[in-house]
Structure 1
Amino acid sequence: MAPRVLLPDQRCEVWTASAATGARELVFSTGELLVEAPNWTHDGAALILNGAGSLWRLDLGTGSLGEVPVSGIPDLNNDHVLAPGGLIYLSASDGHIYRAALQGGPATRITADDGVFRFLHGVSPDGQELAYVGIEAGNSGNPGRIMTMPAGGGASAFVDVGRGHSDGPEYSPDGEWLYFNTEAFSGRAGRAQLARVRPGASGLERLIESGAVDWFPHLSPDGRFACYLRFPPGTKGHPADLPVEIIAVSTEDWTVPLHTWTLFGGQGTLNVNSWSPDSARFAYVAYPVECSAARPAR
């Protein structure tokens, strides 16, 4: 799959938002490059994104965007996570997971050639385990399954959460839970809902029941807040370029939104955890089209 590019008259905008106050800030805007899936660095100084098959660093102090020189890896897709010790784990277009230093350099593949396509979403707080979505035989028609594996490589374990596609597995800050979205509660496409489960596949809980399609729950590092992406009812998968909502909640009550932001986006907007290390803000990406009636609220 080729890296995404901007549509005619489309811009790529990187924003930060506060779950506590609802305040937002536009930190980067371009009509030249489509970037996706921000991670916030552990020192709070930058955002890490992918775009044009490469890895990029957005310095929040200067607003400058520069490519991270990672070598020995195919084009990146939209899934990457930061780990302790200055490491980054990356999903690539060949369906494998790679490990590299965050400042760049050669990447090391850590997954085997077994026909499974992997989309990485989570790293445990101690950096010892990864959580990803596995699609067997590389066939996008097969449902995604929640999997875990040692961060150093090795055998994967299947986390059974029921039938239907599941996506976005991410560890809670204490490492006790995996948060994700799943179609298991309805058994049909276009009905993703938010849930959590113990990494050992016990204690499955539905977090919220809505008439919409909810994806990618992300918890703040202090565990107090979460944000997630809401697609229109009936949306299958997490496509690009449509009106969506980002919803922030308190983890004490997922049913009551603290703030809701409407924008034009979807794929690439909020694929991976993008909370700041102090839990004050999270980052997301909007893709407004000048001639579209569905421009994000300003």
Structure 2
Amino acid sequence: MAKLLSIALLFLIGSSAFAQTNPVGIFQNNADVGKPKMTGSATYDSNTQTYTIRGGGSNIWFNRDEFHYLYNHIQGDFILTAHFEFMGQKGDPHRKIGWMVRESADEAAASMNAVVHGDGLTVLQWRPLRGAFMRDPQDEIFYSKKTVFQVIQLERSGKKMIMRVANWGEPLQEVGSHEMPDLPDAVLAGLFISSHNPDDVQEAKVWNVRIDKPVASIYHPNPQIQKLLPKTQDVLGCRLEIMTIADGKRKVIQESSGKFEAPNWMPDGKKLLYNEGGALFTIPVTGGTPEKLNTGTVSRINNDHGISFDGKQLAISGGKEGATGGSYVYVLPLTGGTPKLITQESPSYWHGWATNNKDVVFVGQRNGSKIYNIYRANINNGKEEALTKNTAGHVDGPEYSPDGKYIYYNANPTGTMQIWRMKPDGSGKEQITFDENHNWFPHISPDGKWIAYISFPTDIDPNAHPSYQRVTLRLLPTTGGAPRVMAYLYGGQGTINVNSWSPDSKFISFVSNSEKAATPIAEKAK
């Protein structure tokens, strides 16, 4: 009888905790856990897409917890990433914020916590079983308590949980990892705050909150093995985002369960242009209903498209009417209309306009070669000129600087993809980035001061830029210096293939991925 009463009591505790649903932002549940003396709360500012969380609680430690929790029910693998900042300097040094994954809302539940304390202590801690004492690896990392904010990421890959952190502008660093074999596949996951003082309530701001659900990758870094893998890839949902360059704050303006790619910023600064399903669409930068752009008979448009410096013309890459496969470069009025074929041979992938608005640069394969090189073509007569003559490696993403002095591009002559530049005639080639990452698609800001590019992880083929990877967007002064990490995201192919700077150089747009959609698609080969 006593055993039955205990089970019933546990059921009631769990049921009452789960019943406290009060959706805030993307989180479906907003509740105190462990009945802290001081009640917590959470709000969401939809304009800035920022959360304010407040919470009391004696601690998150020993064999029970007290804190405030914003969470969703989630299954399988995931990547949780956000920026956190305590509001105010007062409070217990061990006040806590971060990401938490729990088996239930029970105060004694098994959990895995990616924690930053008020005094800068940063640690991965876990409770392996319900009612067990909390543990940590004892190799704790201390950051200065003067740190303004910090990026915290918690990833689950199978039974393994991995915590990474960074001060904004820096690469993510792994704090620790731990296997949680007894944590169920279906868990609670979300943001938490605990004051570490039963008589106090602490407050924090949280922004750039992203919950990503990766898919099993069909990509393999060995090209010979890759040839044997299926040619289709699960589709992940997409977010169209705008980021402020000054502080890295991001806003999602459009979401889809399907696949869209490669935003361009329209010259008036009021709309974005992107490709989806072989067509082009515009959407207000504040969000809203997309409108299809008239591209005539060219209906298999890919993610290589962009706007001339004078704001009057649009270059696109896509299939030729009546032909199967292949990519050709076309030019049409930015307002829409009948495209003019520029390149007679395929594959040709547009990437940049010359400042004279009469030439375009693209990458292509010619004369039976399997190697991509950079070419320039005149839009009036289609005459092509090779600017690189590689016989090995790969080049991609050529783009003119606004002053017309350089063409920036990415190249792999040494085994690592890096950012390069050359003079418009193809001479004076010089390397710009020097690191272990594979860096792609340099985009120059309209004011000529910055290079934005995407960095892929070290474990991919340097000649590949696959979808669905843990990537970063980086910013580098055109005058030289150290690059800064602007965004941490799940993405890759289609994220930032083309220039997406705002006309005033204050914002940049890109595509990130979220979770699996229903239908697999064939990946674009390039």
Instruction: With the length of structure 2 as denominator, give the TM-score of the two structures.
Output: 0.50
Higher RCO (C-alpha 8 Å, min separation 6): 1
Residue 222 (structure 1) aligned with residue 454 (structure 2): no
Specify the SS of the correspondent of 1:100.
Answer: strand
1:118 aligns with 2:345: no
The 5 Å alignment of 1:175-214 reads 175-184=404-413, 186=414, 188=415, 191-214=416-439
Matched, 1:128 2:364: no
Structure 2 match to 1:151: 379
Alignment check: 8 A CA contact 2:267 2:311 kept: no
Aligned equivalents of 2:430 and 2:423: distance in 1?
9
Q: 1:248 to 1:63 in 2, by over 3 A?
A: farther
- Indicate the SS of the match to 2:240: strand
* Runs of at least 4 residues off by over 3 Å: 4-8
C-alpha distance in 1, partners of 2:272/2:479? Answer: 28
Letter in 2 for 1:247: R
Aligned match for 2:303, one of 78, 81, 84: 78
Please tell me the root mean square deviation across aligned C-alpha atoms, in Å: 2.2
- Which has the higher Rg, Structure 1 or Structure 2? 2
| Counterpart residue number, 2:472 | 245
1:262-281 → structure 2 map (5 Å cutoff): 262-281=488-507
* Aligned amino acid, residue 272 of structure 1: V
Match of 2:163 in 1: none
| CA 90–290 in structure 1, closer or farther in 2 if over 3 Å, else same | closer
1:65 corresponds to which residue?
290
The one-letter code of the counterpart of 1:106 is T
CA distance in 1, matches of 2:301, 2:516: 28
Moved more, 90-99 or 273-282: 90-99
Structure 2 segments unaligned to the other structure (5+ residues): 1-230, 320-325, 518-526
1:274-293 matches, within 5 Å, as 274-289=500-515
- Are the equivalent residues in 2 in contact too, given 1:5–1:52 (CA < 8 A)? no
3-state SS, counterpart of residue 514 of structure 2: coil
d(CA) in 1 for partners of 2:290, 2:307: 18
* Corresponding pairs, count: 277
In 2, Cα distance between equivalents of 1:6 and 1:204: 36
Task: Determine which of 312, 327, 347 is the counterpart of 1:95.
Answer: 327
The offset of 1:250, in angstroms, is: 2.1
Change in CA separation of 1:203 and 1:161 when aligned onto 2, cut-off 3 Å: farther
8 A contact 2:471–2:489 mirrored in 1 = yes
| Distance in 2 of aligned mates of 1:161 and 1:27 | 41
Structure 1 residue identity aligned to 2:444: L
Q: 1:34 to 1:138 in 2, by over 3 A?
A: farther
Q: 1:45 to 1:122 in 2, by over 3 A?
A: same
Alignment of 1:169 with 2:398, yes or no, is yes
Cα distance in 2 between the residues matched to 1:239 and 1:222:
30
Deviation at 1:52, TM superposition (A): 0.2
C-alpha distance 245-124 of structure 1, shift in aligned 2 (>3 A) = same
State the distance in 1 between where 2:513 and 2:233 align. Answer: 8
Identical counterparts, % of pairs: 31
Distance, in Å, in 2 between the alignment partners of 1:97 and 1:244 is 28
- Aligned to 1:90, the other structure's residue is in SS state strand
- Residues 7-62 of structure 1: per-residue CA shift (max 9 Å, x gap): 46x3210111123222222121122x311111101110111111100011111245
The 3-state SS of whatever aligns with 1:131 is strand
Partner of 1:296: none
Q: Tell me the equivalent position of 2:157.
A: none
Structure 1: which 5+ runs fail to align?
292-298
Compared CA separation, residues 276 and 250, structure 1 to 2 (3 A): same
2:409–2:420 contact (8 Å) kept in structure 1 = yes
